[in-house]
Amino acid sequence: MSDDTSLWSALADPHRRSIVALLLERPRSVGEIVEECGLSQPSTSKHLKVLREAGLVRVRQDAQRRVYALDPAPIAALDAWLAPYRKLWNRSLDALGRRLDETSDTSTEDPSPKD
């Protein structure tokens, strides 16, 4: 059930955004995630449950370990939500940039999210 609200509220938590950022690098087991973001194991498991129910992550069972990985679909949904607004800020950036420069590409320059 990945309705928009569960997706947004899943990402509203900074710890969960950290987890998502971790999983962007590579899939990880719960233990790794616990160690990386310094939360307790039960708390981490709960966050992972929220992310799971929001459709943001998937689990693969490997012996006793459970390896979590990002599911790109909800990210795409976010992107779709964002699309109309992107027009808006492109427009206003354009209005600004008209006086500044011709740099129309102010987008993806950030290789690593730290959040």
Among 71, 37, 34, which Cα is nearest to 54's?
Answer: 71
Q: Is 93 in the site for DNA (CB under 7 A)?
A: no
Residue 103 binds a second copy, judged by CB under 8 A: no
The position carrying tokens 């929001």 is: 54
Compose the 46-85 pattern: x for residues touching DNA by CB under 7 A, - for all others: xxxxx--------x-x-xxxx-------------------
Nearer to a second copy, 3 or 62 (CB): 3
| 83 interface partner picked from a second copy, DNA, none, CB below 5 to 8 A per type | a second copy
Long-range contacts of the stretch 31-40 (C-beta < 8 A, 24+) = 31/65, 33/68, 39/15
- 2 is an interface residue for a second copy by CB under 8 A: no
